[in-house]
Each structure stands twice: as structure tokens, then as C-alpha cells.
Amino acid sequence: MTRLLSRFSKRALVIAQIVIVFAIAITIALIPTIDERSFNLQRIAFFVLWYAILASSWNIIGGYAGQISFGHAAFLGLGAYVTGILWSELHWSPLVSLPIAGAIAAAYGVIVGIPTLRLRGPYFAIATIGVGEATRLFFVNFDDIFGVTLTRGVTGLSLSPGREEMFDPVNVLRLTAVVFVVVMLATMWIRAGRFGLGLFAINMDRDAAETAGVPTARLQVLALAVSAFFAASAGSLYAARQQFLDPASMFGFDKSIALVLMPVVGGIGTVWGPVFGAILYSTVQDQITSIVRNPYLPALIYGLLLIVIVIFEPLGIAGLLGRSTKYVRMLVLPRDGEP
Amino acid sequence: MRRLFAVAVVATFVIAACGGGGGTGAAPSGSGGGAAAVKVPDTIHLGASLPLTGADSTPGKFMKDAYELYIKQVNDAGGLDVGGKKVKIDLKIEDNKSDAATSGQLIEKLITQDNVDLMLGGYNTTTVAQEVKVVNRYKMPYVNGGGASSSIYVDNTWAVGLLASIEKLAQTQLDFIKTQQDANKLPKPLKIAVAYENSSHGKEFLAGIQAGEKASPDRFKVVFNETFDLNGKDYTSLLNKVKDANADAFMVDARVNDYITMQTQYKQLGMYHPYLTYGPRGPEKAARDALKDSSDYIAAATWFDSLMPGDNIKKWLDLWAKTGDSPEWYAASGWECARILLTAIQKAQSIDKQKIHDVLFATTWDQSLFPGGSIKFGQTGQANNDYVMTQNTPGGNRILIWPKDLATGAATIPIPKK
Amino acid sequence: MRLIEALISALMVAGLYATMSYGLALIYGVMKIINLANAGSMMLASFATFFLWQTFGLDPLAAVLIVAPLFFVVGAVIEAFLVRRVVNEKPVISLLLLFGVLLVMQAGASFFLGGDVRSVRPVYIQEVVHFGDVTLAYNRIFVFLAGLIILVALELFLRNTFLGRAIRALAQDRDACRLAGIDVRRVSMIAFGLGTALAGAAGALLTAVFPFDPSNPYGVLQLKSFTIIVLGGLESIPGVAAAAFVLAAAENLTVTLSKPQLENLVSFLLLVVVLVVMPGGLAALIRRRRIA
Amino acid sequence: MTAGEPILVGRNVTRRFGGLVAVNSVDFEIAEGEIFGLIGPNGAGKTTLFRLLSGVYRPSAGSITLRGQELGGRSAHAINGLGIATTHQIVRPFTEMPVDKNVLVGALYGRGKLRGRAADAEVDRILELTELAPHRATLGRSLTLARRKRLEVARALATRPDILLLDEVAAGLNPTEGARMIQLIRKVRDSGVTIVMVEHVMKAIMSLSDRIMVMDLGRRIALGKPAEIANDPAVITAYLGQQAVAS
């Protein structure tokens, strides 16, 4: 009997999660239609969705496969610059360049992933710091190395939107809502499926997974490629909205730090953890300076939060929520291999 | 389970379509914009994003003090009379930690959340360029004295900038060198080694010098040029290459901290050039205190210098002395920005953005601290004032050496070999 | 000629690079933990040295004798209250914990001390000495000598004292030590304290040569020290010193032969290559060649 | 048990670690459907040979062929793809996963390439076979040693192997658990899977094996039915030393 019940409640769980994802996306997509002048709400909504996309994409490799990447801003920046350059050189709309940017970043993820993913735990993390910083410096000196003027180095690449529809922040917000839905569905689909189960097996014991037939190298590289694809799509969305890119901001180590903090603080390896982390991070980042003048308070908070979470509640906010009612726990803390 | 996800993906594109349809909302036009004649509030809210921490914290702090000093002076005198009533001015300053992307987001927050009426500018080329993008999107008038590169003002309508371009800075120094060559104090052609920071600021400095070389190949010959990373720590290898180039002049474009590090190592390596400049850097009090006599005889071209004559400059220097800060060019630049913006409000008798924009571009802003005593914003929004040049003299002092009519002493060129 | 100059200046900076890396190697050797907070300890030590120089006029090289023991205590406290709780979890957990400690250190320093750039200018900052036409600044020579003294002292300590041998034993096999009756917790605390003290010493020496602020140049230097400990392997302290020189030489040659701005790009690429090609470092490479 | 066709054949299999020769040109033929025991004192090279069979090590010389196909130098999951599944001497369950998911990993990634319902059905079948069905929702880390050992076997079986390598699967079990394990191994063999097991628990290996190979100091010193092995002088010397044989 229990198995029947679990199969029924499992299906209900999936539907509930999908409905929640759509509810969030549709409400945000309709904000501009409801109140045209709600620029502040649109601004906040964009950054919450944007950080959620980034955190969820990082979670695929960092949360599911357990390979912590400290250099994920490399893919974010790559996506932004591909969209920026395709627009300023060929006038391709971000709508067109978003998937291309994702594909290029995924390819870069494979090239970088194959050698580094062989490394274990801390060594992989350190290698990603190296990759992240090397990518930043590569883009700072891109024009000098290749003798072209594409990225304009430290000065920054400014995009003149002209009449392109896709540079209107309202359209960018809606595209972000769509990408958010795609990313959340993808992470749920991966987590519940064969791919996710394989990643969790790798996370727990790579050698045991290997002997159980799991092609660990191939799965990890695929996970990094998918993660890179979605991180790059966030880069394209940023380029479309802010219309100005500079290497220090797009590839900065502080971005890579944020990409580690959000999923870990929110609940690493869970579906909704990264979203909780993104909401917390974007609100603290945006609103704290209105309360306390000193700009270093957010970083101090994150540092303390990280220590507390690692020691007392490894599943972060999701873990804390999970301690409440059974249903919340089922929603927030699914078993490995379930959405 | 698979079917569920398939259905969900289809639904995704439905919301995209319906969302997309209604997508042509009016472009955001800030809280003012084309609405009926804007009523004058009791307090005018200004906003600014400045680097109060990080690499540019020194200029950031000076600009903040300059903005607040001018506004305090106006408020103490009862405020601005606009539309027949006295209006107080309030300024909200956010700290962008010398990061361009952060500044872009803070500017947008000032506009959409804090509903500021008008905007004062930030510091450093990359940050100002990002801010100009945002203010143009929200059609927000923006007066800045911290970004000199002409690339900032591409497709710009709503921003104006006090600082003339960096190409002109390099050009001014070459004009000065020509006079020294004619007085055969410097060889002809002058072999120049250029080291420039890896930024548009640096690239335009080099471009200005190369333009001068092309214009008069008989006078200038660039024998070495190389870029270096910002916040560099060890320039010994780069300086060794400069030594190899055995040039007559070493012309550098760098930020204050990198100028201090490089000049320390320049002296440690026992290097010497008849003509030495760090672009706009040289006379800053922080650098002179740190470098002491090893920064003597360094030439600099800046947008303003406290040695310049003029009674409004005297008045400003007395006022500024109260802050206890030294009268650096970025203080004067900040003061000028606040003065021009507030005077524009008074002239327009309104805070309607379009009116303020028109006044800013139309007026010739005289009684200015800047060389020539007046500022006129060009069609792109960038002013094109002349530069003044100074040379550090022993004992921590300096003299004005260019333009000739403002000179307060004879330049010691070539630099004495100690 | 320019090459000799580059190699000599590499030798000078190698002293600093080596000192900051010993601590990392020691802590990883003993506790199999990458101490990301190393950069934070270095930074706080620099600010402590700056404070001592500004208020008492104490020269950075002398300040090492005060700062290093102070940071031994800091390290011991971090190990006892934080690291000890996660030492048997997956290595990634302790990595995240120490990453949190680094964030708190950096943000804390900026929050309380402000983020702007400071520099210590010892009295001999301008003094130089000439060998042929190679000119060397006193401050760089002193930092190199200090690095050498620390290398010798550390090597003697590890070889000839009980505690030193216990630390090296722990590096070989933690469980064997537990069986042999070594108080593993106490020795780990001492090893972590010693590692942090070495980072403190490096932080103090750094102020004699470079300007600094809460994040620069510590982030970059930390990455370089990762390359060094991987290149130098974790078994031998002299191996770390040799690797420090190799990295410094590679950087200087890059700047001399090609574009200066590529210096850091080369060291980061070197980090990735070294990690991927020889996870065990030079020593493992040598050992492997002997076996095959 | 009629001896089937030789499925796993070793021809002067050798493995060196630097100067040490752990396995010294050993020959053997394992027939399909057989239970093949491997015993020998500690340091005899049993574990090394076992690792050579499971593909963890590559032979320094000689060859191991599965139905004529060379084994050397493949990744562990590729070896599993050829039909050889292994259990670990020190049990390695996926600790944070429930038992059914542990087995599902084998089912999804094994040779069966099962998906959805078929995979779930396979998991149920194997859980019944290994008597783990009542614990399907228990996390890996909270299982008793015996159940963890059975989980290892279950996960390996889920990959639908032709050959199952068992590394001291009976070690550390009390008599009743040991008996249940022996019964399980027999059931597995009856379902058509060839078994190769390394074991110190004599009761288990003697009662289960069709043939046993004895190794000492890296060499094969005996191969034959359990009864023959028990009286073979070379084996006794290896285990009990010279003097015992003389008296």
C-alpha cells in the first residue's frame, strides 16, 4: 500500500512544484502589464529571477554532482560578451544570441571540464578559481591578444540598443521569466531522472558509482556543460538589460563567490535551495545599503551565514524549512533522485 | 512523469507568447517625463553613486565632500528660489565600491526606488560609462566631473561631462614639450617611452601621443609603448624594459596608487629621464607625502590646479580650506558639477527633465574654476576646456608651467640628474 | 642581460611567495584541508604590521616577531572552534567553512578599517645596492633573507623537535598516529596555528614591498600559493621554496619577454595545468617515474 | 554442476608494483555458471588478482579475456558494460540514498539500460531476491553491515552481469547472516550468473565453490574441487607451514 501512496503523492509533488514555478514566472511577467510605472518592482523582480537562474545552474554541478566551482562567473561573463559582441558587430538580437551564447559556454565548459573534473574535491575547486581568473584576464586582454577591437577591454563594451525590441527592459523581464521556468523545469527533470541519480551517485562515492556502471567522467562533463549553458543565458539577459559590460564586473571573483553562496546558503543539492538563496542574496545586496551605510556589511553577513550553515545546518534555508511540517519537507527536501 | 514535463515545457512558450504580445509598454521615462508641467516640490532630491571604498576611494571621498559642501552652502543661504519659492536640496549618495556594474544598479535604484529628481556623476571612466547608459534609458539629466574618455558620450543625450578628453591631455603636454625643444632644453626628435594603464583612459593617452608623433614626426618619436594592469604591485620588469629603450622622455598614464608604486620602483632602479610625467597624476598630496623628493620635477596636466589665478578660485580655496582636504582637481570638478546642476535648476525655474537638459546644453557656464573661466558642453555632452600643466618642485611644492600666460615660474627642464 | 635581471628579481620575490605557501602546505599535509583563510590571515597581519609601523614606527621585518606568534593563536582558535567540527566531513565542507572565514576576515577588515589602499614605507625604502648594473632595493633583499631564515627555521623545527616530527608523522598517516598514542587533536591545532603564523609572517613581510588593501593583492597571491604547493608537492618544505622560485621566474620572464599584463594570466593558467598534469606535484612525478 | 564453456580465461597473468611481483604468471579458466573460489594466506596476491579481474588494475604481462575479449585498461564502468560486476571489500553504499535508489543506479546504468517502469520492476525483483524489500526506504548509512553487504550484491546484480565478483562478502557476518548470504549466492548462481569469490571464511567458500584456486606468494599453487584442495599438501604447507605436513 505504501508504494501506491508514495507513487500518488510523488505525482502530486511534481505537479505542485511545476505550478509554483509557473505561478512565480507568470506573476512577474505580468507586473509591467498591470502597472506600467512599477519600474522599481520590475528592477527587483529581474534581479531575483536572474540570481535564481544563476544559482540553479551552479547547483547542477555544485549541488547534484558535488563538484564545487569557484569560477562560474567565467560562463556568466562569456554568455554576456557573446551576446554583446553579436549585437555590436552583427546586430543579432539577444533573443537569437542567447542560445548561441549558451552553446559556446557549454563547449567551453566541456573543454575546461574534461581535464579538471578528473580532480577530486578541493583540487577541483582550486582549479576552477584558476579557470575563473584566467578567463577574466583573457577577456581583459582579448583585444590586445588578437589585435581586434571587439570587447574594448577594461573600458567596457557599450551596446547601443537602437530600436531593437529585445533591449526594452519589459521584454527582457519576460524573457527572464521564460528562462527561469526553463531552468527550473530542467533542474527538476534532471534531478528526478537517470541523469540526476547518476550525478548524486557520483556526489556520494565516485568509485562505487563507477563500478555500478555510471560513466562518471562523461556525466560530470555533461553536468558542467548544462550548468554553463544556463549560466551563460543569464549573461545574455544581463547584457540585454544593462547594455554595458566590463570584465571586472562580469567575470569578477565576487560574482563567482555569489554563485557559491546562494545555493549553499539556500540549500545545496535541493531544487528550491538555490531560489531561496537567490531571494536572500538579491534582497540583502539591494536593500541593505539603504539601512546601513557601510557597503561591506553584506559580505560580512554572507561570511558568517556560510560558517553557521556549514556547521549547524548543511542544507541551509531549505534544511531549516524542512524542519517545519511534513508537506513542506516533502516539497523542499525531496529525496535524492526525486524532484 | 515524462509527460508532465513535456506539458510544462509547452506551457512555457504559451506564457512567453502572451507575455511578449503586450510587450511594447512605453519605454520607461522616469517619474517626470512628458507628464503635465512638473510642480516644484519643497525639497529637490539629487542622487549620486561614488567610489567611497576600493581602488578610487580617495577621489570618491573628495567628490562627496565637494558635492555636500556646495549643497550645504546653498541650503544655508535658504535654498534655491525656484518657481517663486525657496527649495531645499537633498543629496543621497550610494557607495559603488569602485565597481562599474554595482554603480549601474545603484543609479537605477536611486531613480526607480528613491525617485531622485536629478543626478550627479561618479568617478572613473568605466563606471561613468555604465552610469551614462542607465541615465539615458531613464531620461535623467546627469552632470559628471569624473569621466574624461570620449567613448563615454557615444549615443548620449542626457549626460554632460566637465572633463576634456585624454587625447587633449596628451596633446597639451606635447605642445609644452615643443616650446622646450625650441628653447633646446629637450632634444629634437624627442625619443618617448610610453607606459599606459590597461583602460580606455590609458589607450587614449597613447593615442594622443601617437597623433602628435604623426603630426610632427621631426619632433616626437615613440620608441617604446606597453600597457600594464591596474592595481599592479611589481613594475620592475616593465621598468627594466623602459631602461633598455633609453628614451629622452618617460610618459605614463596611471591611477594614483599605481603612480606611487611605479615611481618608487623607478627610483629604486636608479632610472632617469630628462622629462617625466604620469599624465594627470603628480601633484596629489597623498602621492607627494608618500614619495617626497622622489616625485620632484614630475610634470602633470590636469583639468584644474589650485595655483590658477582668478578670484572665484580664491573664494573657493578659502571655502575648501575648511574641509581640511587638499584642493585636488577632483574636488574642484565635484564642486563645479554641483554648481552647474543647481544653477541650471534655478535658470530653468523647474525640475522638468527636458527643460533642465536644454538649459545644460544651451548655457555657457561662466565663473567656472576650470581653465578659461567658462564651460560649454559640446554636442555629445563633453566639455572641451584647456588643461593646465604643473611641475613638482623640491620641498613638496609645485609651479604652474602651462599655458604660458598662467605660468607661476620657469619649468626646470630637463629634470636635473641627481 | 635582461634575463639575469628578471631571474634575480624573481629570486627576491620568491622569498615572500615561499613564506606564504609553507603554511598552506603544512596545514594541507597534516589535516588534508586547503586553508582558504590563509589570504585572510596574511591580510590581517599586514594591517597589524601597518598599525605597529604607524603608531610605534616599528619596521615590518621586526614586526614579524610580534605578528607571527599573534597569528599562531589566531590559527589555533580557528582550528579549535571551527575546523575541528568538520574535519571528518567531506573535504569540500571544510573548504566552504574556511571560505566563510576568509569572507568574514576580508569584509570585517573593510567594515572596521575601511577599504582604501595603505602602504608601509620603511626607512630604507629608497636605499639600493648595485651589483654590476643590476640594482637591488634593500627592502626586497631583506624580505628574501627573512624568507630564507624562515625556511631554515621551519625545516629544523620539523626535523629535530618532537612536535615537528609529530606533525610530519600526522602528515603521513593520521590513523597510525592515533594508534601510536599521539594526541592528534592537539597536534592538529598546533599545526593549524603554525600554518597561520607563517601566513602572518608573510603578511608582515609583504608590507615592506607592496601597497595593500583588504582584497589586493591577497586574492592573487593566494592563487599563486596554490600553484606553488601543488608544484612543490606537500612533502618537502624546500620543494615548496623551489616551486616558489619557479613561479616567480615564470612570471618575470613573461613580463620581460612578452606583455606585462599577461603576468597573472600565465600564473593562473600554470595553476590549472599544474593541477591537471601533476596532482601530486613534482615529488609525485619523480616518484612515479621511479616506479614505472 | 556440469562445467559450462570457459567464460573468463587468464593466460600467465602478471602484475608488478615497482620491484614487487604481486601476481606471478597465473593461468586459470573460469567456466560459465560456475562458482569459482579464490583463497590463499594474506599477501598471496588474491586481492591484486581480484582487482585485475575487476579492471581496476591492468596486467603488467599476460592477458585476461572475457569470451575472448581482452580486459586490460578499461574504465570500471566499461568493464561493467562487458558484464563483470563487483562488490567492494569495504562496503560502499550511497549513504544519503534509500536502498531502492541505490539499486536503481545499477538498474539504470547497467547493461540492461532499463528505463522507467522496467527499471522499477527490476529493482523490486532484486530487492525480493536479496531480502531487502522491507528496507527499501532506509538510507544507505543506516543499514546493518549484513544488509549493506546484501545491498552491494543487489546493486551489482541490478547491472545484469554475466560474472559477479564477490570480495570477502561473508567477512564480518555472524553465522545466521553468513548462512543467509551463502543461500543468496547460490540463488544468484542458479539464476545463471557466474560467481568468482575471494573469501577467508572457509565454511562459506568450501560449501559454495565448484572449484577453488589457491595462491601463495603470487603463484597458483593448486586448482581443483574443494575436497581435493583440502588435502593437497602444497595448500596445507602454505597455510600451516612445513612442520605440520611431516608429522
What are the sequence ranges of the domains in chain A? Answer: 12-251
pLDDT above 80: residue C278: no
The C-alpha of C212 sits at a distance from chain B's nearest C-alpha, in angstroms, of 9
Burial of residue A41, with CB atoms counted within 10 A of its CB: 0-12 exposed, 13-18 middle, 19 or more buried:
middle
Q: Which residues of A touch D85 (CB under 8 A)?
A: 211, 213
Specify whether B291 is located in the same domain as B158: no
Specify whether B288 is located in the same domain as B184: yes
Give the confidence band of A1 by pLDDT, cuts at 50, 70, 90: very low
DSSP classification of residue B217: T
Could you identify the residue written with the cell 614619495? B291
Specify whether B134 is located in the same domain as B111: yes
Contact A189 B5 (CB under 8 A): yes
Specify whether B147 is located in the same domain as B252: no
CA distance C186 to C178: 11
Could you identify the residue written with the cell 552553446? A103
For chain B, say whether A26 makes contact (Cβ under 8 Å).
yes
How large is the average pLDDT for residues A115-123?
83
CA distance A216 to A65: 10
Domain tally for chain B?
2
Tell how strand B249-253 and strand B142-144 pair up: unpaired
Contact A177 B15 (CB under 8 A): yes
If residue B90 lies in a helix (H) or strand (E), which one and from where to where? strand B85-95
pLDDT above 60: residue A5: no
CA distance B278 to B292: 16
pLDDT above 70: residue C276: yes
DSSP classification of residue A23: H
Q: What does the pLDDT read at residue A22?
A: 93
Specify whether B111 is located in the same domain as B240: no
Average pLDDT, chain C: 85
Q: In this complex, which chains have at least 3 CB pairs below 8 Å with chain A?
A: B, C, D
Q: Which residues of A touch B9 (CB under 8 A)?
A: 182, 185
The CA radius of gyration of chain C, in Å to the nearest whole number, is 19
Q: Which residues of A touch B12 (CB under 8 A)?
A: 178, 181-182, 185
Tens of pLDDT along chain D (247 residues)? 445 788 888 888 898 887 888 888 889 898 888 999 998 888 888 888 888 888 778 888 888 888 888 887 788 888 898 899 999 888 899 988 999 999 999 999 988 888 888 899 999 999 999 999 998 888 888 899 889 999 999 999 999 999 999 998 888 888 898 899 999 999 999 998 999 999 888 888 888 899 998 888 888 888 888 888 888 887 777 777 766 444 4
Contact A295 B52 (CB under 8 A): yes
Tell how strand B220-228 and strand B249-253 pair up: unpaired
All CATH 3.40.50.300 domain ranges of chain D, comma separated, are 1-83+161-170+183-247
Is the dihedral angle over the CA atoms C194, C195, C200, C204 positive or is it negative? positive
Predicted TM-score (pTM) of the model is 0.89
Rounded to 5 degrees, what are φ and ψ at B354? -65, -40
pLDDT above 90: residue B144: yes
Rounded to 5 degrees, what are φ and ψ at D195? -115, 135
Query: Which of the residues A137, A200, A294 would you substitute to probe the C interface, choosing the one with the greatest number of C C-beta atoms within 10 Å?
Result: A137
Q: What does the pLDDT read at residue D1?
A: 42
User: Does residue B12 fall inside a structural domain?
Assistant: no
For chain A, say whether D82 makes contact (Cβ under 8 Å).
no
The CA radius of gyration of chain B, in Å to the nearest whole number, is 24
Q: Which residues of A touch D109 (CB under 8 A)?
A: 194, 198, 212-215
Tell how strand D6-17 and strand D20-31 pair up: antiparallel
C-alpha grid cell for residue A24?
512565480
Cβ within 8 Å of residue C106, ≥6 positions away: A299, A303, C39, C40, C43, C214, C215, C218
Distances, alpha carbon C159 to alpha carbons B293, C168, C169, C229, C236, in Å? 49, 9, 11, 20, 11
User: Does residue B28 fall inside a structural domain?
Assistant: no
Specify whether B290 is located in the same domain as B318: no
Contact A197 D80 (CB under 8 A): no
Angle at the Cα of C42 (from B199 to C95), degrees rounded to 5?
95
Neighbours of D9 (CB within 10 A): 17
Regarding the domain with residue range D1-83+161-170+183-247, which homologous superfamily does it belong to in the CATH classification?
A: P-loop containing nucleotide triphosphate hydrolases (3.40.50.300)
User: Does residue B3 fall inside a structural domain?
Assistant: no
Contact A248 B95 (CB under 8 A): no
Q: Which residues of B touch C124 (CB under 8 A)?
A: none
Q: C37 to chain A: nearest residue by CA?
A: A303
Specify whether B141 is located in the same domain as B178: no
Top-confidence residue, B14 or D160: D160
Q: Which residues of C touch B257 (CB under 8 A)?
A: 117, 211
Q: What does the pLDDT read at residue B154?
A: 86
Top-confidence residue, B339 or A294: B339
Q: Nearest to residue B273, comparing CAs of B308, B310, B298? A: B298
Coil/strand/helix, residue A244: strand
pLDDT above 90: residue C198: yes
Q: Do B50 and B122 form a contact (C-beta atoms < 8 A)?
A: yes
Give this complex's ipTM. Answer: 0.86
Specify whether B221 is located in the same domain as B145: no
pLDDT above 90: residue B174: yes
Tell how strand B118-120 and strand B85-95 pair up: unpaired
Neighbours of B391 (CB within 10 A): 27
Specify whether B264 is located in the same domain as B402: yes
User: Does residue B380 fall inside a structural domain?
Assistant: no
How large is the average pLDDT for residues C185-191?
89
Contact B4 A289 (CB under 8 A): no
The C-alpha of D201 sits at a distance from chain C's nearest C-alpha, in angstroms, of 27
Specify whether B146 is located in the same domain as B52: yes
Q: Smallest Cβ distance to C135: which of B55, B238, B270?
A: B270
For chain A, say whether D80 makes contact (Cβ under 8 Å).
yes
Q: What does the pLDDT read at residue B32?
A: 41
Neighbours of D182 (CB within 10 A): 19
Beta bridge partners of B90: B45
Specify whether B285 is located in the same domain as B317: no
Give the confidence band of A154 by pLDDT, cuts at 50, 70, 90: confident
Is the dihedral angle over the CA atoms B182, B184, B190, B194 positive or is it negative? negative
Distances, alpha carbon B310 to alpha carbons B164, B317, B335, in Å? 20, 11, 16
- Domain with residue B402: its CATH number is 3.40.50.2300
The C-alpha of D11 sits at a distance from chain A's nearest C-alpha, in angstroms, of 24
The C-alpha of A307 sits at a distance from chain C's nearest C-alpha, in angstroms, of 5
Most confident of A214-218, C58-62, C109-113: A214-218
> Helices C91-113 & A253-267, crossing angle to 10 degrees?
120
Q: What does the pLDDT read at residue D51?
A: 85
Q: Which residues of B touch A246 (CB under 8 A)?
A: 100-101, 126, 130
Beta bridge partners of B365: B375
Contact C100 A125 (CB under 8 A): no
Residue B91's domain spans which residues?
Answer: 43-164+309-362
Distance of CA D30 to the CA centre of its chain: 12
Q: Smallest Cβ distance to C128: which of B226, B231, B270?
A: B270
Q: C110 to chain A: nearest residue by CA?
A: A296
Query: Which of the residues B15, B110, B140, B165 would you substitute to probe the A interface, choosing the one with the greatest number of A C-beta atoms within 10 Å?
Result: B15
pLDDT above 50: residue B355: yes
